[in-house]
Structures are given as structure tokens and as C-alpha cells.
Amino acid sequence: MQALSDANILLVFGTDTGNTEEVADKICDAFAQHGCAVEMVNITDVEAEQYEEQDLIIFGIPTWDFGGIQGDFEEVEADLEALKLPGKTVALYGLGDQLGYGYYFVDAMGWVKEKLHDSGARFIGAWPTEGYDFDESRAANADKSFFCGLAIDEDQQFDLTDDRIETWVKQLFAEFEVEQSDAV
């Protein structure tokens, strides 16, 4: 069983106004608290070979313009769909505004999960919807009890961000090991 502390971890983010990068920094800091280094790269700079060396890949994406996909991610849609990640673990986080865009909250995170559906990756880090107030989300499951990854709202709930990240990173540590032992 491989522990996350021994894993190669890549965090790939896209951003228009910087929030998703700030959250990426905080996620890397939270991993550092556990003694883990995370390589952080903008989606505009990632090389296909970089995925090959990883055990855990974290994707971070904001939603724009009523359920729209952050532009840099949208440009690599075909590459994402073609990614082959068997034996690798993926976790997602998404940024959005639940009050301003309650029918499209963190939709782009759901889009990333859909694009990676055939990649062969295992997904960890599903996050409860409790504590959010939204109507619809492409990132939520059918009964809207979980998002497919961590939802961060810097517009309405910035005061909850640090605690959410800390809790989610702890959750990733626990789930990564379970996933790995399941795989054996």
C-alpha cells in the first residue's frame, strides 16, 4: 500500500482572476504541513509527459459565464479527453459563486470529471454539499448530496476556505490509501 506521503503529486490549475491559483497555493501549503511536496503548474504550461510520473493529480478550475469553462481548460478539451491515467488517482477542486450563479455553481469542475471519464483514473475527494446554498450544479451528484470535488466560494464564503482546504487535504490522505489498497 502506497502512502500519499510517498506519492508524486501534481496540481494543475487554470484561472482568470487569480483565485484558483491562490487556492492552489493553499492546498500545496496544506500538503506541506503533512510533509508532502506538490508540483503546481498552470494548465497553459503542463506537458503531457508530466502526467506520466504522477500518482495523484489534482485539477483546479473556476467556472465563468453561466456554466462556462475557464478558457485555458477549454482550449485543451481534446487533450483532457485523450488522457490515459490508469493506476493514477485524481482529485478535483472548483471555484464558483453560489449566490451569483446558483444554477451553475462550480459547473466547470463537473466538466473536468466528465472529460476524464474514460481516462481510467480513480477519483477521490468528493465533498459534501452541506453548508452551500445553490440550485443546480454540474459538479453535484443526482441527489445533490456531494460535489465531485472540493467546492470553494471566494465570493460568498471566503472565511470558510482555509478550513475546507485543511479538511479536504486530510480526507485525500485517508482516501488515497484506501483507494490504493483496494487496487491491490
Ligand X SMILES: Cc1cc2nc3c(=O)[nH]c(=O)nc-3n(C[C@H](O)[C@H](O)[C@H](O)COP(=O)(O)O)c2cc1C
User: Interface with ligand X by CB under 6 A: which residues?
Assistant: 15-20, 62-67, 95-97, 101, 104-107, 154-155
Q: Which residue is nearest to ligand X (CB)?
A: 96
Cβ of residue 39: shortest distance to ligand X, in angstroms? 19
Cβ of residue 59: shortest distance to ligand X, in angstroms? 13
Cβ of residue 31: shortest distance to ligand X, in angstroms? 19
Choose between 154 and 179: whose C-beta lies nearer to ligand X.
154
* Structural contact between residues 89 and 179, judged by C-beta atoms closer than 8 angstroms: yes
Cβ of residue 124: shortest distance to ligand X, in angstroms? 22
Choose between 55 and 155: whose C-beta lies nearer to ligand X.
155
Choose between 154 and 175: whose C-beta lies nearer to ligand X.
154
**With the CA atoms of 146, 112, 158 and 132 taken in that order, what torsion angle do they form, in degrees rounded to the nearest 10?**
-20
Choose between 102 and 173: whose C-beta lies nearer to ligand X.
102
